[in-house]
Structure formats: C-alpha cells, structure tokens
Structure 1
Amino acid sequence: MSVAAAFYAQAQDVSILRNTVDVYSSTPMVGSSKFNAMAGANGALGGDANSMLTNPAGLGVAISGEVSGTLAIAGNKNKSTWAGSTIDYSKTNTDLGNVGAVITFPLMSETGWKFINIGINYSNQSLDNYVESPGSDNVIKDFTDKSSSLAGHAYNRYGNLSKTSFGVGANYNHNVYLGASLNFFNASIDQYDTAAFKSLADGSMEYFDRQNTPMFERSSGFSATVGVIGKLSPNFRIGGAIETPTFWRIDRDYNFYNDPNYGDATGSESRDLTTPLKATVSAAFVASKNFSLNVDYTLGLTRPKYTVVTGIESELNSFFKDNYKNVSEVRIGAEYRLKQFRVRGGYSYVSNPFDALTVSQVNPDASTSNNSYSNMMLNSRNLASFGIGYDFKAFYIDASYQYITSKYSNPYLRGIETGNPDTDTAYYSPTRIMSSDYFAVSDVKNNRNNFFITLGWKF
C-alpha cells in the first residue's frame, strides 16, 4: 500500500513508526563481553545472568555464584546520500552496558533437584541516532515573501533503552533446567524532525520543525519469560523459551504549532502499546570443557498494537497490520578455552520488519514519481563479533568487539497543513509554514562499532 495513505495522522510520522519497531519492539541485547562476543547466542548453554536475555533456564545451569559489570563503548555512524551528495555523522557513547549476578543454592535432598538459583540482570543500550540528509538546489519552495531551496533534513534521536530482569532457575539431575524471569523495561527518547531551507535571495538558512516535534517520551514496560534446556547427551543440548508481549506505557510531551486556539505551545499524551510475543529455540554442542557452540533462532509471533483511544492509534494499527512482517533473528556463537585463556566469536542476522512500501517522492531534479522500496525506514541487520578473556581463578576479565551493518531508505519532508490540529503534519519555523505532498528519500548506510570490557567474580 502507499505510505502516503497510511503514514499520517496527528504525530503519526516516520519517527513514531520507526521507534515502535526499533525501540519498543526490540530487546536491549547488551550483555557481558562473553555474551556480546558470541553475538548473544547462549540459549542452550546458559550458566550466568545474561541467560535472561535469551532463556532464563540458563540460570539453572550455574553451579557457582557470579557477579559481573560491563563497560560499553558504542560507536554509531550514519552515511546519508541524496542528490549526489553524502553527509557522514559519527558519535560515540560510553556507559554502563550490563550488570549481572547469580546466587546458587545447592539442594542437599535425595530428589533429583540439584540447584535452585536466582539471578538479576541489567542491560542498557544507547538509542542515540542522528541522520542528516543532503538537500538539492532544484527543490524549491515558494513562500509568500520569498523562495528557498531545500538545504537538508535531519532526524535526531537521543535516549536509552534498558531491561532489568529478575529470575529463578532450577537444575534437575544435571539434565533438565527450568527457568522464569520478570522483565522491566525503561525507555527515554528525545526525537527531532527538522528541515532546512536556504533563501535564494540572500543564502540565509531557515529551520522548520515538523508538527508535534520535538517530542520527548518517557516509557516503561513489562514482560515475562519462561524457558527450558535439556541435555540430549553429554555433548548436545536443546532449549526453548517464550517471552510474553511487552506491555508499554508511553508518556509523551511534544511541541505543537499554529493551533487555532492555543497557537504555538506544548502538549502531552499517553499511549499503551503491546509489542510482539517472541519464541526462541536453541541448540548447543559442547565438545569438551574446552569448546562450545550455540545456535539460537528467535521469532516474533505477533505484531505491535496500540490500545485504541483515538483515530491515531487505529491508523497506526492499520499500518502495522498491512505492512509489518514478523521479525526473526539467528544468532551463532562459539567459545574455545585454552587453560585460563578464552577466545570467542559470533554472528547474528535480524530480518527486515516491513514489506515493500510505495511512496510519492520528489527527486533531486524536482521531478516527482511513485517508487517502491523494500527497505523503507528499517532493514535487515548483520552483526559480527569476537572477543577474548582470561580467568584469574576467582576473578576474570573479558573484552569483545561487535561490528553491525544495515542499509535502508530514509523518507523525510512530507507534511501537510490541514488547519486541523488532529491531522496537521506540516513543518513550522517561527514565521513560516512548509507543506509538501512528497517525500524525499535518501540512502542510509549505518555502521556500528561496539567495544565492551567486563570484570567478574565467581564465588
């Protein structure tokens, strides 16, 4: 279907659609350096608090207590190309990425139950993402008092997404492991959507904010996960986990413009969002105490859905019903141990969340056309990782690196002045209104370079 037909009601814009999937429907997969080096593949291995990011049954695998903390250095680079020009932007954030702890309780009973373990895990990732796209001297907007050419556009997002999990795991006869966790999410997003125009008369710049932006979201969510791991033989394990939908409460403050009653002011609203139910299946091969290999497959079984209060939520739900694809992820990770030294590596692939979408667009030469894109707003993502570690008896230190790549088509600029605050989507400067029936669409290459350092203690 046409994006132009589905995208726009009040505050229903590219940023909201992208953040619904990229932020609220995803899980912060920032674990320890070991977890990150193996691309998050540990669903049938387990053994530490990071198990709650994939399969809480992994808590039951632990036979000793452990606590660890991880420093994350996240580098994000976007390269946006349009009209034969490219704009690069890079940013690096350093933050606490993960804290995890497991306490083990050996059971001295004569039954087959060997351990009951409890764990807590905190995972945190940066949401900062700045995409600035070039303009074109050929794309001209005639205002009442002057004419200006499109100088560029920027989506700018600041924020963090965190997941805190509390879990319990059990070990039955060192062959079957059961686990469950309660997961609490928090998201903080500051989102900007800004277009720039350059006066043809004197070259001065004028900046326009899209209706209902900037917007500032503070959100909380909840989910629960249950899982099981079983040994088929001393060398082979399989696992499975189900995570309930995440139930989000999104509180948003935003700027609005040209309201018939209030003029330019700020508003607030709240929405309830349910994001997809997820299932994970895993298999692991443990050749010896020196080598292990794990494969995970995660599939979203439902789609994002907003609780309907107004027509805005209905429009959003219609878009996801018609255009959203269940997201799948494959993760592969391995570890090799040589005495106290560890070497790890991994790879993961996340599928494209959207079907092909068609937009009415303005081209760099100012002509217009209808074009279909298979990678609109978001696309599939590839991750490669490796790491090393060293055990000092009770203490250990690990380091890892991840390289993540994605390419997508980035729509911007379309906005319509309707005179109705509920449907207006135009761009506003302090003195002018910019309305456009067409998107401009840039090509964006996103590369992320992430480094992690973990210090841990086993007891």
Structure 2
Amino acid sequence: MKKITILIMGILSISVSNAQSISDALRYSSGEITGTARFQSMSGAFGALGGDLSAISINPASSAVFTTSYASFSLGTENNSNSTNYFNGTDNSSNTSLNLNQGGGVFIFKNSNTDSPWKKFSLAMEYDITKNYDNDWRANGTGNTSIGQYFLANAQGLRLDEISQFQDETISEAYSEIGIAYGYSNQQAFLGYYSSILIPDNDDNDGNTLYTSSILGNSFKQDYTYSATGYNGKISFNLGTQYGENTYFGLNLNSHFLNYERYTSFYETNNNTGSLVKEVLFDNTLSTNGSGFSFQLGGIFKLTNELRAGITYESPTWMTLEDETTQYIETLVSDDTNGDFYQPVNPNVLNIFESYRIQTPSKITGSLAYVFGTQGLISLDYSRKDYSKTKFKPTSDPSFNAQNALMENMLTAASTFKIGAEYKVKQFSFRGGYRIEESPYANGTTVGDLTGYSLGLGYNFGNTNLDLAFNQSRQDRDEQFFNTGLTNPVILDTKISNVTLTLGFRL
C-alpha cells in the first residue's frame, strides 16, 4: 500500500490530552550515564569526589573541590542495539549517533582573608545531555489480537454523530472539529469508522454507542516499526564553597530542555474467513518539545585524609510539554460486490495540543569514597527515586488523573548502585565502574533492572588532560504497540554502548 503524502493543516485541540501513558512519563523521568569521559568510565560514582565537571550533576558541591579554574568538552558516539521477540517472531536493529555530550567550566575564587573559615567560592556552568532518544527497532510476528480492538476500545460508548463527518464536510474538517470538540479517543474512533474497521450496531441512529469490528479471527500477521530522535538535556548554573579544610557545599539551578520525535508504522494482514478488512496500515507521528526547572543541594565532607562522604538532594523536575501529532490509516476492504479495494483515510491534519505539565520524582543520593593518596581511589554512590510520585498536570484533566492513579499503583521506589575506581601510573589513569538501576515498576518485569559497566583511560599533560571512556548498559522491557485494545507485549532487549572523548584544561 502506498502512503499518501501528508499535507499539514494546523489545529488546536483545547484542553485535550494526547493519551499520555506511563511509558511517556518514564521516558522524561529517567536519564543515562553521560558527561565527561572520566565520569562515564567510573559509572558516574562521583558523589563524594568532585573535581570533575560532570560530577556537578551528581553533587553540586563538586565544583568547590577544584583547586583551579577548569573547563572541559566531550564528544561521544552512542550505539543503540535492539533485539525484539513478538509471538516468536524476532528481529534485530541498531543505530549510531554522534553528540556533544558535555561542555562547561568552573571558576575558582580563593578568599584572600586567611582568617575566614570560608576558604574559596566557585561558579560553574555545565551542559549535559541526560538522555539521547535516537533509537530504531522493528517487531513482527503472528499475533492473536487485531488492531481492530484498538479502534473498538476507543469507540465503545461514543455517540455515532460524535465520530462522524457532517454533510458537505471534508475528512480533514471532520477530523479536526472532532478533535477540538471531543478529543483524542473520538478521533481514533473516527479513523476506525471511515476505514471500515468499525461497524455501528445501528448505522441510522446518531445516538448509537455500540460497535463491532469488521476484522474477525485470531491470527494476524503484524509488523511494527519504531523510529525516534531527540534528546533530554540540562544546563546547570552552580555555586559552591569550601568551609574550613574538610567541608564543601553547593547549589545547582538546572534549566531543562527536551525534544522528542517519534514515527511508528503498524501493518497487519489476515486471511480470516468473514473479515471485511484484510489489511491495515496505521502510521502515527509525535513531536514533543518542552522545558523545565529543578534544583540540587549537596555537600562533600572529608571524614579523614582518605575517607570522604557526600549527600545530595535533587528536587522534582517541573516541565512544561507540548505535543503535535499526525495520523494516517489505509485499509484493504474485501467486498463481494465491488471486489477488493484500498480505502485511505488521510486527515492531512497536524494536531497541536494544549501544553501540559509533568512533575518527575525527587532523588536523594549518598556517597562514600576512599582516596589512596595520589595513586588512586574507589567510590560508591547509592541513590533512591520514587517513580510512583510522577504526575501529569493539570490534574483537572480526567485522563491525567487516571494516569496518575495508575502510576501510583504500578510504579515504585527504585534504587541505583554505582561503584567506580581509578588507578594512576605516572601520567596515565586507568578506570572502571559498574552500576545497577532497579526497575521503576513494582512488578519488576514491565521494565527490568538495568546493569552496566564502564572502562576508561586518561593521560595528564600537565595543564591539559585527555580522557577516553567506554560504557555499556543493558535492559529488558515489555513494549506495547498501543495503550489500549491491542496490548500484546513485545519483549525488547536494549543494549546501549557509548564511546566518549574529553579534552580538559586549566584556565
């Protein structure tokens, strides 16, 4: 089937949510180990160490540990490799992207008053990509539930005249007006009705609210393609200070920015007896842009010359998001009278939804590090984040309220453990790390635990250092094509590999 080129025509859907789900909330609430090569090579276990620009993102007191002003820039490649299993149908895919992972600098101001316990102050600005959304995967297999159940689930209980076009109204006008007047579910029902998937119990009654699917049987060949781009990043404005010889404090004010673009294509065929519709192609695009704010408070304490401890509180992130979507559906209808024919429903409409807010959970991090003089160190970080506190807003939106209640029941508090080590031989530094991030789901299976390891090498030229890091993580999860109706899971095994090079220099 040939897809018709989309002609964009903008609309505004007032006070209507775009069927946000738990997976959307987690996408914007979670991050990755990114930043400088030294930070990555030790799996981000820097909460009690400081002295690295990306460590500021873990503990804002890290900036005050620097003895001189410093800057660094990091360039990295990320490879996203996916294996899928859907009703014993398997597929593999991967993609690689190149990014400026990190950039920033810290300025140190020493107190000339030697009698003051405040030894120095630090000002820093740090840019980090916290999550890269570039990803592609494909799933295919023979399922037992049709996409007709998706449209049926959205349509059931809706009046026929609320999912139908008026006389002399075009498909584009009807789709647009239905979205404005009634919302997202009505638009889905509209697509199902005009693609011949939905059959009203009483086609002559505008008040009809019962529907059946014209796709029958329990064997459906299905193919799903997912392609996404974008990133979640932040700029931290940092203030730090050293009090006495052994205590450091810091504050981060974080400005967040987000861009996420996704294209999905679902294709289904069947040869089931009695099915009116034999093929369905359903394409969707989503573009999300947003910005937000959070803050962090932290401290680092030298308990002895060798042993250090750190503590950080990270506030919730308050983000404002805006969604835009397009949709296209085409079916092959088998008609005994007119023969088989393709029936495209192409609204040619860009849905522009009213902005909404998301509040991600806060996080607390505790850290310990042991420094072996100038030879090396070992560091351990533990953090906890309660994902059940994630919220969509405004809560006056009934669908947001429903999703918030669902997240409160299905999500849970998750812990992250990170350990890193460094050993120095003359100008060379050898590094390694390991981390475990618990599943944010209470059942522990919808999204599995994440495990990752890292390796790195650094060389100190004096006033300049060059660092190289490799880190890799792996996580399994169950992914759904749609949030309702057709919810059979795809088992997705994702492996993310990063190689990062950092150039740092004293100012």
In which range does the TM-score fall when normalised by the shorter chain? 0.7 to 0.9
Task: Provide closer, same or farther for how the CA distance between residues 414 and 194 of structure 1 changes in structure 2, counting only shifts above 3 A.
Answer: farther
Q: Does 1:281 align with 2:366?
A: yes
Structure 2: gaps of 5 or more residues:
1-15, 149-195, 198-213, 273-277, 330-345
Larger fraction in strand:
1
Aligned to 2:158: none
Offset at 1:126?
A: 1.7
On the 8 A contact 1:71/1:453 being kept in 2, the answer is yes
Q: Does 1:312 align with 2:399?
A: yes
Aligned to 2:487: 439
The counterpart of 1:126, out of the listed 123, 132, 136, is 132
The counterpart of 1:222, out of the listed 278, 289, 293, is 293
Superimposed CA distance per residue, residues 300-335 of structure 1 (whole angstroms, 9 cap, x where no aligned partner)? 146111221311111111111111111221111111
Superimposed CA distance per residue, residues 381-432 of structure 1 (whole angstroms, 9 cap, x where no aligned partner)? 11100100101111111000011101122222564xxxxxxxxxxxxxxxxx
Q: Does 1:389 align with 2:458?
A: yes
Aligned to 1:11: 18
The counterpart of 2:121, out of the listed 104, 116, 124, is 116
TM-score of the superposed pair, with normalisation by structure 1? 0.82
Task: Provide closer, same or farther for how the CA distance between residues 116 and 126 of structure 1 changes in structure 2, counting only shifts above 3 A.
Answer: same
Offset at 1:439?
A: 2.0
Q: Does 1:50 align with 2:54?
A: yes
Offset at 1:293?
A: 1.1
Q: Which letter does structure 2 place at the counterpart of 1:77? A: S
On the 8 A contact 1:127/1:189 being kept in 2, the answer is yes
On the 8 A contact 1:387/1:401 being kept in 2, the answer is yes
CA distance in structure 2 between the aligned counterparts of 1:178 and 1:197, rounded to whole angstroms: 58
Aligned to 1:162: 233
On the 8 A contact 2:293/2:317 being kept in 1, the answer is yes
**What's the secondary structure of 2:403's corresponding residue?**
helix
Task: Provide closer, same or farther for how the CA distance between residues 159 and 338 of structure 1 changes in structure 2, counting only shifts above 3 A.
Answer: same
**What's the secondary structure of 1:158's corresponding residue?**
strand
Task: Provide closer, same or farther for how the CA distance between residues 59 and 208 of structure 1 changes in structure 2, counting only shifts above 3 A.
Answer: same
Aligned to 2:501: 453
Q: Does 1:88 align with 2:92?
A: yes
Q: Which letter does structure 1 place at the counterpart of 2:99? A: D
On the 8 A contact 2:382/2:415 being kept in 1, the answer is yes
On the 8 A contact 2:36/2:53 being kept in 1, the answer is no
Aligned to 2:435: 348
- Higher Cα Rg: structure 1 or 2? 2
On the 8 A contact 1:219/1:250 being kept in 2, the answer is yes
Task: Provide closer, same or farther for how the CA distance between residues 146 and 59 of structure 1 changes in structure 2, counting only shifts above 3 A.
Answer: closer
Report sequence identity in percent: 26
Aligned to 1:322: 409
On the 8 A contact 1:153/1:412 being kept in 2, the answer is yes
Superimposed CA distance per residue, residues 237-284 of structure 1 (whole angstroms, 9 cap, x where no aligned partner)? 1110101110000111123679xxx96632222111111011111011
CA distance in structure 1 between the aligned counterparts of 2:96 and 2:422, rounded to whole angstroms: 28
Q: Does 1:266 align with 2:335?
A: no
Q: Does 1:243 align with 2:314?
A: yes
Superimposed CA distance per residue, residues 106-152 of structure 1 (whole angstroms, 9 cap, x where no aligned partner)? 11111122211111111114212223211217766786698893331
**How many aligned residue pairs are there?**
402
**What's the secondary structure of 2:354's corresponding residue?**
strand
Aligned to 1:405: 474
Q: Which letter does structure 2 place at the counterpart of 1:132? A: R
Superimposed CA distance per residue, residues 26-62 of structure 1 (whole angstroms, 9 cap, x where no aligned partner)? 2454110000000011000001321221001111111
On the 8 A contact 2:232/2:257 being kept in 1, the answer is yes
Aligned to 2:425: 338
On the 8 A contact 2:53/2:72 being kept in 1, the answer is no
Task: Provide closer, same or farther for how the CA distance between residues 154 and 17 of structure 1 changes in structure 2, counting only shifts above 3 A.
Answer: farther
**What's the secondary structure of 1:375's corresponding residue?**
coil
Q: Please say which of residues 147-156 and 292-301 is displaced more in the overlay.
A: 147-156
CA distance in structure 2 between the aligned counterparts of 1:36 and 1:447, rounded to whole angstroms: 16
Task: Provide closer, same or farther for how the CA distance between residues 192 and 312 of structure 1 changes in structure 2, counting only shifts above 3 A.
Answer: farther
Task: Provide closer, same or farther for how the CA distance between residues 84 and 238 of structure 1 changes in structure 2, counting only shifts above 3 A.
Answer: same
Q: Which letter does structure 2 place at the counterpart of 1:306? A: F
On the 8 A contact 1:327/1:353 being kept in 2, the answer is yes
Task: Provide closer, same or farther for how the CA distance between residues 107 and 352 of structure 1 changes in structure 2, counting only shifts above 3 A.
Answer: same
Task: Provide closer, same or farther for how the CA distance between residues 287 and 141 of structure 1 changes in structure 2, counting only shifts above 3 A.
Answer: closer
**What's the secondary structure of 2:349's corresponding residue?**
strand
Q: Does 1:207 align with 2:281?
A: yes
CA distance in structure 2 between the aligned counterparts of 1:166 and 1:413, rounded to whole angstroms: 39
CA distance in structure 1 between the aligned counterparts of 2:105 and 2:316, rounded to whole angstroms: 25
**What's the secondary structure of 2:30's corresponding residue?**
coil
Kindly report the root-mean-square deviation, in angstroms, between the aligned alpha carbons of the 2 structures.
Answer: 2.5
Aligned to 1:362: none
Larger fraction in helix:
2
On the 8 A contact 1:399/1:454 being kept in 2, the answer is yes
